[in-house]
Amino acid sequence: MKAVVLASGGLDSTVTAAIAKRDGFAIHLLTISYGQRHRVEVERARQIARALGAADHLVLDVDLRRIGGSALTTDQPVPKDRSEAERGKDIPPTYVPARNTIFLSLALAYAETLGASVIYFGANVLDYSGYPDCRPEYLRAFEQVARLGTRAGVLGTGVEVRAPLLQMAKAEIIRTGASLGVPFHLTHSCYDPAPDGIACGRCDSCRIRREGFRAAGVVDPISYVDM
Amino acid sequence: MKAVVLASGGLDSTVTAAIAKRDGFAIHLLTISYGQRHRVEVERARQIARALGAADHLVLDVDLRRIGGSALTTDQPVPKDRSEAERGKDIPPTYVPARNTIFLSLALAYAETLGASVIYFGANVLDYSGYPDCRPEYLRAFEQVARLGTRAGVLGTGVEVRAPLLQMAKAEIIRTGASLGVPFHLTHSCYDPAPDGIACGRCDSCRIRREGFRAAGVVDPISYVDM
């Protein structure tokens, strides 16, 4: 039983991959190197694939800097030191236009070619309420595209999109990961790391991660620039 | 008024681009170089963009050979000399897993970044009844993904997918193109061209093209290996 897992090298997708493995799937990791500012995560994804015993790991290049439109793919500044209230207000500038649709469509192609019936995807609605492409109704709409737009769908085998973290708080994700032995030390979350890959500690993603580890009562094993 | 046009360098997408221009849009062409066997079409797309006076032309590399699963991206043979009845029976081996979903998702990202409200897409249901991702219900499902999964959708501006050729027979597409002055001599249709780019004349795509020009009473200006 095969599953494709979208693996960014981050915390959520790594916990998601561990869940897919626990669910009994041979996990085929797919990482998209899209020209993101925090490219260190692609190398982390390779280390995570080995640590989790993935059946294979495909790294695909799709240079979304050519399209732009996001602080993650241009020189736009990444917001720092925002409180939870500030983070929740708008779609953040780190939103990458249609990124999850691009990633899911590549995962769909990979799943169809492999004969995998499931795509695991680490979307999470609570912490990232500002990203439209992390909402449950969005994922259901994508499943409909998968059902109608593929050979697998026409033959009735289909491809299901599972987002097991969708409704979890970050602390719950971290506790779940801890119970599955996720190698947290390999995961990268920062949107704007130092040149050596060390997390800034201050972008939205770092803040959500740190608040989550604190709330979960788990020690975050990675280093931050400010500590 | 801006529109993104998925431009493959083929006949249908070129007629579609000409329709978008006639409809009053500044046309932003997007070509995906995906490692297709018939890569000559990417160069043709560049020539077509110039001939049509496109506002710009973005060529993005996404190497789908890494995923495989199609006669267009592997060494699998491309079927030749199939009759209309044979062509209509199954999903053909030239189906590329989830290709149109990948292309539309990249067009969606581009449209969102440009502030374009429309994507023009040359899908056609009649000639390619075997491709699941050319069906009207598929395109409607993708529009739902576009509505739910983007900043543009959340803000209510949205991105519409227009497939003006969807229900046209090939002859009708050719007559429409002729009336709009489409540079047919630049368009490439063959799935399996000779090394110099000359069309084989025998694959499904060549046969559909030649039958279409014949039915339309229009002279096909391109060369074929067998004539």
Q: What is the pLDDT of residues B185-215, one digit of tens each?
A: 999 999 999 988 899 999 999 999 999 999 9
User: How far is it, in rounded angstroms, from Cα B117 to Cα A148?
Assistant: 24
Does the domain made of A2-169 have the CATH classification 3.40.50.620? Answer: yes
Residue-wise pLDDT for B137-182, tens only, equals 999 999 999 999 888 888 888 899 999 999 999 999 999 999 999 9
CA–chain centroid gap for B169, Å, is: 15
Interface mutation vs chain B, best among A95, A121, A148, A159, most B CBs within 10 Å: A148
Chain B interface, best mutation among A59, A91, A106, by max B CB count within 10 A: A106
Quick one: pLDDT at residue A186?
97
pLDDT per residue as tens digits for the range B26-40: 999 999 999 888 788
Assign B130 a pLDDT band (cuts: 50, 70, 90). confident
**pLDDT bracket for residue B127 (50, 70, 90):** low
Residues of A in contact with B133 (CB under 8 A): 148-150
Mean pLDDT of successive 10-residue stretches along chain A, which has 227 residues: 97 98 98 88 96 98 93 88 82 88 97 96 78 89 93 84 95 98 96 92 94 97 90
Q: What is the pTM of this model?
A: 0.94
pLDDT for res B125: 81
Nearest residue of chain B to residue A151 (CA atoms): B132
Alpha helices by DSSP H, listed for chain B, are: 11-22, 40-52, 84-88, 99-114, 136-148, 151-154, 170-179, 204-216
Q: What's the residue count for chain B?
A: 227
Of residues B128 and A71, more confidence is placed in A71
Per-residue model confidence (pLDDT) at position B129 = 58
Q: At what angle do helices A170-179 and A204-216 cross, to 10 degrees?
A: 60
Ordered DSSP codes for A73-96: TSSSPPPBS--HHHHTSS--TT--
What is the DSSP secondary-structure string of B51-81?
Answer: HHT-SEEEEEE--GGGT--STTTSSSPPPBS
Above 80 in pLDDT, residue B227? no
Chain B residues interacting with chain A (CB cutoff of 8 angstroms): 58, 60-64, 66-69, 91, 95-102, 104-106, 108-110, 112-113, 132-133, 135, 137-138, 141-142, 144-151, 153-154
Domain ranges of chain A: 2-169
DSSP state of A133: G
Strands B2-6 and A160-162: unpaired
Position A146, amino acid:
A
